[in-house]
Amino acid sequence: MARGLHGQGFMGIAFEPTYGTYVAPSEYFPIRSESLQYMQDTYFRRVIRGIVDIVPPAIQGYSHVEGEIEMDLMENVLPYFLRVGRWDVVESGSTPNFIYTCTPTHTAGNDGLPSTSEGLSITIVRAGVTFGYVGCLLGGLEISVDNGIPIMRFIIVGSDETTQSLPTATFQTGVGDTPFGAGQYDIQVPTASQVFDVENFVFTANDNAEPQYRLNDSTRARFVKFGEREMSMEFTRDFDGRTEYDTFKALTATSITIECSKGVNNGVAITLPTAVRETYELDGLSEQGELHMATVRFNGIYDTATSRAAQIVINCQEDLPV
């Protein structure tokens, strides 16, 4: 078998109408990296029988899939992953502007997902070898910035891995497949009041997903459970006064909106309607030429007026399959 470079690999995805049953890729997206792995909990016997070695045979234990996928923030990709997470994804609009309004839900596991997308089949090709990961759910999402370019990281928890035939990748082109750039931000603190002093941000929505096993005729994860949600936003900002520092000390809530836009039909907007500063870290005095900066971490709080801790609105040309 010929050796392969990472750059020769690719990834494809497809919704699963039946959880854990492989579906060949229907969409292909460029990625920065991935770390999906089949995890197997093997039981190695160290019983007392006159020796101090592992005693044969090894016994197969429970298994599942886990890992991360990192890619540029692209509005035509994000709805696919949110739909297999603990999010209510409502589609509206029509060509050329499909709108996805995504709101966190409170379901216990993948049984709360739409019947047409109970899981995600993720196909990874490495060195010409195909890996088919099934029953994959979005356990967590992170959106951050790398040298002015917004990127997204998906935390994946799945059920199993299966050998599949090699697919032929066909990638999208056009504005929906073009990353956002450094000049396409509108950061608002509070919402509707743009600020211009943010150097970096990290938005995190972590549902602490865990594989669940049951005694049956399979070692694979039976389903995926969601745990306590962690919703946060972190900013690195120029420090130029005590105003925001004092709001941190007073536990004053605010709203936050981050908009990335390539035009009226292509954008991603993240809103935390009620956010409370958990930490406010000031730079200590050190080098003479350093700017004074502050790192501020907000917790997203459940907002009783809107019945949500966050909302993601996506404008794109992608029409998700029913």
> What would the mean pLDDT of 252-266 be, rounded to a whole number?
96
pLDDT confidence of residue 1: 56
pLDDT confidence of residue 3: 86
Quick: pLDDT tens for 177-225: 889 999 999 999 999 999 999 999 999 999 999 999 999 999 999 999 9
pLDDT confidence of residue 103: 97
HEC secondary structure over the chain? CCCCCHHHCEEEEEEECCCCCCCCCCEECCCCEECCEEEECCEEECCCCCCCCCEEEEECCCEEEEEEEEEECCCCCHHHHHCCCCEEEEEEEECCEEEEEEEECCCCEHHHCCCCCCEEEEEEEECCEEEEEEEEEEEEEEEEEECCEEEEEEEEEECEEEECCCCCCCCCCCHHHCCCCCCCEEEECCCCCEECCEEEEEEEEECCCEEECCCCCCCECCEEECCCCEEEEEEEEECCCCHHHHHHHCCCCEEEEEEEEEECCEEEEEEEEEEEEEEEEECCCCCCCCCCEEEEEEEECCECCCCECCEEEEEECCCCCC
